[in-house]
Structure 1
Amino acid sequence: MTDAAARTPRPDRAELERTRLPVGQLAHDTRQERRGIVMDHQDGFVWLRPEGGGTEWTACPGDVHPLNVREQAEALMWARVASANARSRGEVL
């Protein structure tokens, strides 16, 4: 371990809890350039699942950020379009 790493204070548990994204929040993983829904916080990682479902992946908490207002509105719009398309095909939602 380098001297700088040894001197760098680790965030305390209260700080981590305050900055933690809530489960269900739509977020962006900047390292993988993917959007997903926060499913859990476990073992120092954030567990994310793709918006449309699929296999979860893990990300470091520092790489996961909430979507801004415009991105959230866009995601909601596409969800509504998908729902309307499914209804028009007679699919059960």
Structure 2
Amino acid sequence: MRSETDPLLVVPVRGSSVVSLRLFRTAAGKKTAVAFSSPLALAKVLGAGHGWIRISEPALRRMLADLDVTGIVLDPAGTLPARTPARAPERRPAVRRVRAA
């Protein structure tokens, strides 16, 4: 139950009619949740069109209890680029040179 002293956090979500909490990974690869103090702070990091909900910290912690989440990062300054799988070098088709007769 939310008390009047619990500030509401702005938490990123996915979806529109049914939303799910968006989790992130730390630099070490551990799952974490992020929360922001305002919609503007969220927009600066994730973009203006990103979905969000307002929720208290105790309610967020209850949602995360069984998800093996390291913790909550409040107002992260930015994000690291997503890791992309290593790609094999692009192979170009062999070009055959033909002598003019």
Q: TM-score interval w.r.t. the shorter chain?
A: under 0.3
Q: Which has the larger radius of gyration?
A: 2
Bigger helix fraction = 1
Higher RCO (CA < 8 A, seq sep 6+): 2
TM-score by length of 1: 0.28
TM-score by length of 2: 0.26
